[in-house]
């Protein structure tokens, strides 16, 4: 009949969708896992361009945060950290099977590992506990070479000839997979001063990046450092008080910032906009704070979210007796994901994985056994983000 539309063939309908970048993007963003996103990018140059676009990756990351693959558990009667894999869908189960997470082959006593976006930093001591070796491994990429970092300096000769001995070190990586660098934050003392040196690893040598003298007898590190917006953040103790230490990499200046609330059960995490969150346990609640610095260099704290742990546990059939018996004293934060999306914490010998802060969902990850006694440390291993896309040759 004249004027009636001719039905589209299936091939034409498919082409109409796949040739539209907006519609194709809406399909691709639903693949859920970064591994699937990489396979999408292998189809052709156009699909690679769509999947690897920064704006698209930001949307994907917001909808599909990196999955928890497992945890390294270091308890009292373990010889060293052991990897406990999480139950995964087939897509990520293949990732676990292709990885190499066992640390038994390492020589000496291995301390608690630290993990950053697929990089595992291990500190092992010799049998006399005197020589420390720091090793960088990539559990998700077993074919990548293991790197042994050069020994960190143990003392420094000051300008006046005085020798500054370090009692605290913290190594942290900076940058992505293609431009990885390492810093070392070292603390020592002279008379009634704390000497802070920041080293950078250059050509297998630790070189001084900056030096700060603080008129306080002794400052000690509590947590591992974070780098955000050319600043290093670390929780420290000054006397018996916890504070946030902020070192500006550009000006080599520092700040000691009071925490918004008293307490020791605290975790730091990066935000999506190069800032830092502080996650704190108080009155059986998780309180998430954002630190902001104004144009005059003054730091302020803003309360972002409050999570009621008793309510979450009750909703997910997790016993809440711990809250009546010991309150905050037996709640420990072991790790906080970027942007405080997830928290890995311990309640009375049980690791509670807050699956999604926004959805207030939780699950058990691991429970101490009688031989474990208690946790020394728990280190989460996540899927790497952003994914490493293939390089397609032109022409």
Mean pLDDT value of segment 208-223: 88
- Determine the average pLDDT of the residues in 131-146: 86
What are the DSSP calls for 92-113, one per residue?
Answer: HHHHHHHS----TTS-SEE---
pLDDT attached to residue 127: 61
Assess contact for 307 and 291: CB atoms under 8 A. Answer: no
Cα–Cα distance, 365 to 43 (Å, whole number): 37
327 DSSP 8-state letter: G
Average model confidence (pLDDT) for the chain? 84
Mean pLDDT of 159-172: 81
Ordered alpha helix ranges (H), 66-214: 90-98
- The pLDDT of residue 190: 83
Report whether 273 contacts 293 (CB < 8 A).
no
Strands, sheet with 266-270, edge to edge from the N-terminal-most edge strand = 266-270, 276-282, 285-293, 299-308
Residue 182: per-residue pLDDT: 92
Alpha helices (runs of H) in the chain, residue ranges in sequence order: 10-18, 21-28, 34-41, 45-51, 54-63, 90-98, 309-315, 321-325
Q: What is the pLDDT of residues 185-206, one digit of tens each?
A: 999 988 888 999 999 999 899 9
More confident residue, 129 or 89: 89
Please report, rounded to a whole number, the percentage of residues in the chain having pLDDT higher than 90.
28
**Three-state secondary structure call for residue 328:** helix
**Residue 394 pLDDT level (bands cut at 50, 70, 90):** low
Query: Which positions ≥6 away from 265 have C-beta within 8 Å?
Result: 280, 281, 328, 331, 332, 333
222-253 per-position pLDDT tens digit: 888 898 888 899 999 898 889 999 998 888 88
Give the tens place of pLDDT for each residue, 332-380: 889 998 888 899 988 878 888 877 787 888 888 888 888 887 888 899 9
Given a cut of 90, whether residue 181 has pLDDT beyond it is no
């Amino acid at each position: 009949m004249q004027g009636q539309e001719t039905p589209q063939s299936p091939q034409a309908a498919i082409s109409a969708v796949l040739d539209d970048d907006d519609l194709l993007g809406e399909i691709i963003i639903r693949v859920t896992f970064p591994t699937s996103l990489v396979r999408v990018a292998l189809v052709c140059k156009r699909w690679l361009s769509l999947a690897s676009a920064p704006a698209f990756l930001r949307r994907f990351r917001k909808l599909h945060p990196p999955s928890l693959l497992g945890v390294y558990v270091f308890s009292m009667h373990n010889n060293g950290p052991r990897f406990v894999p999480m139950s995964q869908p087939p897509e990520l189960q293949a990732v676990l099977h292709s990885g190499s997470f066992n640390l038994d082959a390492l020589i000496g006593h291995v301390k608690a590992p630290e993990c950053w976006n697929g990089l595992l930093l291990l500190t092992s001591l010799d049998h006399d506990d005197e020589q420390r070796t720091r090793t960088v491994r990539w559990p998700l990429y077993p074919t990548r070479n293991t790197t042994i970092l050069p020994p960190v300096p143990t003392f420094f000769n000051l300008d006046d000839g005085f020798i500054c001995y370090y009692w605290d070190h913290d190594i942290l990586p900076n940058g992505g997979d293609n431009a990885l660098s390492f810093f070392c934050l070292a603390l020592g003392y002279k008379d009634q001063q704390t000497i802070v040196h920041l080293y950078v690893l250059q050509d297998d040598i630790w070189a001084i990046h900056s030096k700060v003298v603080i008129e306080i007898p002794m400052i000690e590190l509590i947590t591992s450092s974070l780098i955000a917006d050319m600043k290093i953040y670390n929780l420290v103790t000054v006397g018996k008080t916890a504070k946030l230490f902020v070192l500006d990499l550009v000006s080599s200046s520092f700040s000691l910032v009071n925490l918004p609330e008293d307490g020791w059960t605290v975790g730091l995490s990066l935000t999506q906009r190069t800032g830092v969150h502080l996650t704190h346990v108080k009155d059986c609640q998780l309180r998430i704070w954002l630190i902001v610095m104004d144009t005059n260099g003054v730091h302020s704290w803003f309360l972002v979210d409050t999570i009621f742990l008793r309510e979450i546990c009750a909703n997910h059939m997790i016993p809440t007796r711990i809250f009546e018996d010991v309150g905050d004293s037996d709640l420990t934060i072991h790790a906080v994901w970027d942007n405080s999306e997830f928290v890995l914490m311990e309640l009375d010998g049980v690791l509670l994985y807050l699956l999604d802060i926004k959805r207030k969902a939780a699950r058990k990850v691991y429970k101490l056994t009688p031989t474990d006694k208690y946790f020394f440390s728990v280190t989460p291993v996540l899927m790497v983000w952003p994914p490493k896309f293939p390089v397609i040759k032109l022409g």
